[in-house]
Structure 1
Amino acid sequence: MGLKFRLKGLAETFVDSVTCPACGRHGTDDDDFITEETRVTFSGIVVVASCPSCGEVFVPTSQRLGIVNSVALRSAVIQDSHETGEPVLSDLQSVKEVIERENADRKGDLH
């Protein structure tokens, strides 16, 4: 079945399956992983998954990002940043870097 994330009129992302890089748990629908930390960037919706088995937070590698309206998406991302105080993230790579830092901090590996 896969995971589908959509912001009507702005962007959509599809993920066919998710595998946790830490413990190997595999899933194909939204009941298998927690996706509350998913981020919206200038490049679209970047899915961030949390494994309920081991707690690892990661960005699944097999995402297909799509933008419906790039001007409206960019405006929405900037407006959300102003409202929440969260930094603007430009693309999938910038989300990966944030998640890697948060994981290192959570595990006490940040120096």
Structure 2
Amino acid sequence: MALKFRLKGLAETFIDEIRCPGCGFTGRDDQNFTTDLTRVTLEGIVVVAECRRCGEIFVPDTQRCGILNARELRVAVENDARETGEPLFRGIEAVRLSAERLNAQRRGDLH
């Protein structure tokens, strides 16, 4: 069963299969992966997964992002960033860098 992430009328993302780059575990649902760190960006919903087996945080390569209303998505993302104080992520690359930073913190590799 595919994972589906939707913001009604704004954006949607689908993932058929998740493969952890840390331990190689593969899954088709959220039983062995958490997606609490998923971000909404100007390019759509970017899923961030955390493997429950090894703790690796990553952006699955197999996700398919779609934007239903680009103008309204931009307004929603900008308003949310302003209201919450959370950083505004432009797209998937910014989210990947954030995931890499979280892994470095988890491993104690940041200096």
TM interval, short-chain normalised: over 0.9
Aligned residue pairs, count? 111
Aligned residue for 2:34, secondary structure, equals: coil
In the alignment, structure 1 segments of 5+ residues that lack a partner are none
Q: How many Å separate the matches in 1 of 2:12 and 2:54?
A: 28
Aligned residue for 1:103, secondary structure, equals: helix
Bigger shift: 96-105 or 5-14?
96-105
Corresponding residue for 2:77?
77
2:89 matches 1:89: yes
Q: CA deviation at 1:32?
A: 2.9
Q: Structure 2 matches for 1:1-111, cutoff 5 A?
A: 1-111=1-111
Q: CA deviation at 1:31?
A: 2.2
8 Å CA contact 2:12, 2:44 repeated in 1: yes
In the alignment, structure 2 segments of 5+ residues that lack a partner are none
Q: Deviations along 1:5-30, whole A, 9 cap, x unmatched? A: 00000000011100111111110012
How much is the aligned-residue C-alpha RMSD, in angstroms?
Answer: 0.9
Q: How many Å separate the matches in 2 of 1:7 and 1:31?
A: 22
Q: How many Å separate the matches in 2 of 1:79 and 1:31?
A: 32
Q: How many Å separate the matches in 1 of 2:55 and 2:84?
A: 25
Q: CA deviation at 1:108?
A: 0.9
